[in-house]
C-alpha cells in the first residue's frame, strides 16, 4: 500500500485535530511540519512523529515526495500557502474560511484548476454525523420545499484572542470565523443554491471582552496578543436563487444568557433543528408532532474532523470526488464579502 505523505502548515490549536485524523489512517505518513514559530514546530514534530521540520513553507514544499498538506495557519496565510503548495504539485486541505475575501479565493480556485491538484476546503460541519444523516433526510424529500432557514452561532464572551481579533490576519470577526460554518452547512444541506441578494449589519459594541474573568472557550495559540479591530456581532439575510431565505447571526461578544449554536430549516413537509441534536417538527394525523431519530449516532455532533480528514485522504489516494471543493469556498467567500459590504454601505448587495 502506497502511503500518502502529508505535511502541516501552521502547528497551532486546530492542527492537532488534523494530525489526529491523519494518525488514524493506515495509509498516511506524517512527513513534514511547518510553523513560523521554530520551537513550536519542533516540539510538535517530536510529539507527533513528523519527520521533517520547517519554518518556511516554501522550503517544505520543495520536498518532492510530499503528497498533500493541511493549511492550518491564520486566515491571511491561507491563500499564499495554498497557492504555493498547489504550484509545487501538492494536494491541499485548507482550513475555513477559504481566504480573507472572494478575490483571494478565486485566485486559489484558478491555481487549483491549473495545477490539476485537489483543493478541498475544511467545511468540517458537513462531515458531522448529524449533517450526514440530515442530508440523507433532505435528499429524500422529507422536508419538502425548504423556504426559510435560520443559522446562529452566538458567543457571550468568546473571542479566541490573538490573530482572530486582528483584521489584517483574520479578515473579520465572528462572521468570517463562525458564521462561515453555519452559512456553509445550510447551503450544503439545501443542495447549494446560489445567493442572489444579501443584507447585513455588523456591530462593535463590546469588543473582545478580554476583561471578563473565568474560563475561556476555544483559544488561539498566542491568545494573549490582544488586538481587536473586528466586529463583535454580525447579522445577515441571504436570498437564494431558489427563492429561499437564510438569516444568520453570529457573535464573539453579546449580552445573552448563554452561548448557542443552532441551525433550523423550515420546509413545507417538516422543519428540522440541528445542534446539538436533530429534531424534526411536522404534523401527523392533524396533530403537531416532534420527531427525533432513535439511533444515537444520528443525534450526535460527532465524527467531524476524523470524517473530514479521511475524506481528504480518500480523494487524494483514490480519486474520490471531493464533497467540499474550492468552488464552494468561493461561493461562501462571496456571501461573507457581501454581508460585510452591506454592513458598510447600508445597502442590499446583489450577486450576479
Ligand atoms: N474547522 C474548525 O472548526 C476550526 C476551528 C478553529 C480554527 N480553525 C481555522 O484554523 C486556522 C488556524 O486556527 P488556530 O486556532 O489553529 O490558530 P493558532 O493561532 O492556534 O495557530 C495558527 C498557527 O499558524 C502559524 N503560522 C502563521 N503564519 C504562518 C506561516 N506563514 N507559516 C507557517 N505557520 C504560520 C502560527 O505561528 C500558529 O502557530 C484558522 O484559519 C482558523 O479559522 C478552524
Cα(290) to ligand 1 centroid in Å equals 40
For residue 117, the number of C-alpha atoms closer than 13 Å in the C-beta half-sphere is: 22
Preceding amide of 55 cis, omega within 30: no
Domain that includes residue 255, residue range: 126-303+333-350
Cα(125) to ligand 1 centroid in Å equals 18
Q: What is the pLDDT of residues 116-143, one digit of tens each?
A: 999 999 999 999 988 988 999 999 999 9
Whether 146 is covered by a domain: the verdict is: yes
Instruction: Kindly indicate the confidence band of residue 299, based on its pLDDT and cuts at 50, 70 and 90.
Output: low
Whether 156 is covered by a domain: the verdict is: yes
Whether 143 and 114 map to the same domain: the answer is no
Cα(123) to ligand 1 centroid in Å equals 15
Give the pLDDT of residue 297. 59
Q: Taking all residues of the chain, what is their mean pLDDT, rounded to a whole number?
A: 95
Whether 232 and 105 map to the same domain: the answer is no
Give the pLDDT of residue 191. 94
Percent of the chain with pLDDT over 90: 88
Predicted TM-score (pTM) of the model is 0.97
Ligand 1 site, residue 57, Cβ cutoff 6 A: yes
Residue 73 has pLDDT above 90, yes or no: yes
- Three-class SS string for the chain? CCCEEEEEECCCCCHHHHHHHHHCCCCEEEEEEECCCHHHHHHHHHHHCCCEEECCHHHHCCCCCCCEEEECCCHHHHHHHHHHHHHCCCEEEEECCCCCCHHHHHHHHHHHHHHCCCEEEECHHHHCHHHHHHHHHHHCCCCCCEEEEEEEEECCECCCCHHHHCHHHHCCCHHHHHHHHHHHHHHHHCCCCCEEEEEEEEECCCCCCCCCCCCCCCCCCCCCCCCCCCCCEEEEEEEECCCCEEEEEEECECCCCCCEEEEEEEECCCEEEECCCCEEEEEECCEEEEECCCCHHHHCCCCHHHHHHHHHHHHHHHCCCCCCEHHHHHHHHHHHHHHHHHHHHCCCEECC
Whether 281 and 255 map to the same domain: the answer is yes
Ligand 1 site, residue 14, Cβ cutoff 6 A: yes
Whether 146 and 216 map to the same domain: the answer is yes
Whether 181 and 253 map to the same domain: the answer is yes
Ligand 1 site, residue 69, Cβ cutoff 6 A: no
Ligand 1 site, residue 21, Cβ cutoff 6 A: no
Q: What is the pLDDT of residues 155-193, one digit of tens each?
A: 999 999 999 999 999 999 999 999 999 999 999 999 999
Instruction: Kindly indicate the confidence band of residue 296, based on its pLDDT and cuts at 50, 70 and 90.
Output: low
Whether 165 and 210 map to the same domain: the answer is yes
Whether 225 is covered by a domain: the verdict is: yes
Whether 26 and 130 map to the same domain: the answer is no
Residue 319 belongs to domain with CATH number: 3.40.50.720
Ligand 1 site, residue 44, Cβ cutoff 6 A: no
d(Cα 298, Cα 282) in Å, to the nearest integer?
Answer: 18
Whether 209 and 284 map to the same domain: the answer is yes
Q: What is the pLDDT of residues 83-115, one digit of tens each?
A: 999 999 999 999 999 999 999 999 999 999 999
Residue 298 has pLDDT above 60, yes or no: no
Ligand 1 site, residue 188, Cβ cutoff 6 A: no
Range 186-214 average pLDDT: 95
Range 295-306 average pLDDT: 73
Give the pLDDT of residue 116. 98
End-to-end CA distance of the chain: 46
Q: Whose CA is nearest to atom 3 of ligand 1?
A: 124
Whether 67 and 85 map to the same domain: the answer is yes
Domain count, the chain: 2
Other Cβ atoms less than 10 A from the Cβ of 347: the count is 10
Residue 304 has pLDDT above 60, yes or no: yes
Q: What is the pLDDT of residues 264-279, one digit of tens each?
A: 999 999 999 998 788 9
Whether 141 and 210 map to the same domain: the answer is yes
Whether 293 is covered by a domain: the verdict is: yes
Cα(272) to ligand 1 centroid in Å equals 33
Whether 247 and 312 map to the same domain: the answer is no
Residue 217 belongs to domain with CATH number: 3.30.360.10
Whether 328 is covered by a domain: the verdict is: no
| Higher per-residue confidence, 214 vs 351 | 351
Pocket test for ligand 1, best of 11, 61, 74, 169 (most atoms within 8 A of CB): 74
d(Cα 28, Cα 18) in Å, to the nearest integer?
Answer: 12
Give the pLDDT of residue 311. 98
Whether 97 and 140 map to the same domain: the answer is no
Q: What is the pLDDT of residues 305-318, one digit of tens each?
A: 999 999 999 999 99
Amino acid at each position: 500500500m502506497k502511503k500518502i505523505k502529508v505535511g502541516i502548515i501552521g502547528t497551532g490549536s486546530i492542527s492537532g485535530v488534523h494530525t489526529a485524523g491523519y494518525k488514524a489512517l493506515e495509509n498516511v505518513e506524517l512527513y513534514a511540519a511547518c510553523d513560523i514559530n521554530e520551537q513550536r514546530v519542533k516540539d510538535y514534530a517530536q510529539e507527533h512523529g513528523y519527520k521533517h521540520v520547517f519554518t518556511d513553507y516554501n522550503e517544505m514544499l520543495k520536498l518532492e515526495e510530499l503528497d498533500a498538506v493541511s493549511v492550518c495557519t491564520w486566515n491571511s496565510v491561507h491563500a499564499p500557502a495554498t497557492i504555493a503548495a498547489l504550484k509545487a504539485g501538492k494536494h491541499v486541505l485548507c482550513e475555513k474560511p477559504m481566504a480573507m475575501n472572494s478575490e483571494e479565493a478565486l485566485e486559489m480556485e484558478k491555481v487549483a484548476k491549473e495545477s490539476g491538484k485537489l483543493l478541498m476546503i475544511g467545511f468540517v460541519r458537513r462531515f458531522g454525523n448529524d449533517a450526514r444523516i440530515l442530508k440523507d433526510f433532505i435528499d429524500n424529500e422529507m422536508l419538502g420545499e425548504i423556504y426559510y432557514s435560520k443559522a446562529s452561532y452566538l458567543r457571550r464572551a468568546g473571542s479566541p484572542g490573538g490573530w482572530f481579533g486582528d483584521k489584517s490576519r483574520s479578515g473579520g470577526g465572528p462572521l468570517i470565523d463562525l458564521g462561515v460554518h453555519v452559512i456553509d452547512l445550510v447551503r450544503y444541506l439545501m443542495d447549494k443554491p446560489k445567493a442572489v441578494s444579501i443584507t447585513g449589519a455588523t456591530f462593535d459594541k463590546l469588543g473582545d471582552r478580554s476583561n471578563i474573568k473565568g474560563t475561556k472557550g476555544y483559544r488561539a495559540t498566542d491568545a494573549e496578543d490582544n488586538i481587536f479591530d473586528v466586529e463583535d456581532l454580525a447579522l445577515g439575510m441571504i436570498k437564494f436563487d431558489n427563492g429561499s431565505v437564510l438569516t444568520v447571526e453570529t457573535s464573539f461578544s453579546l449580552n445573552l444568557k448563554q452561548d448557542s449554536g443552532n441551525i433550523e430549516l423550515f420546509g413545507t413537509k417538516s422543519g428540522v433543528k440541528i445542534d446539538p441534536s436533530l429534531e424534526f417538527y411536522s404534523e401527523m394525523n392533524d396533530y403537531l408532532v416532534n420527531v427525533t431519530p432513535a439511533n444515537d449516532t444520528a443525534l450526535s455532533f460527532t465524527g467531524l474532523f476524523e470524517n473530514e480528514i479521511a475524506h481528504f485522504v480518500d480523494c487524494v489516494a483514490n480519486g474520490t470526488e471531493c464533497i467540499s471543493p474550492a468552488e464552494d469556498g468561493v461561493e461562501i467567500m462571496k456571501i461573507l464579502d457581501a454581508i460585510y459590504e452591506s454592513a458598510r454601505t447600508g445597502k442590499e448587495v446583489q450577486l450576479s
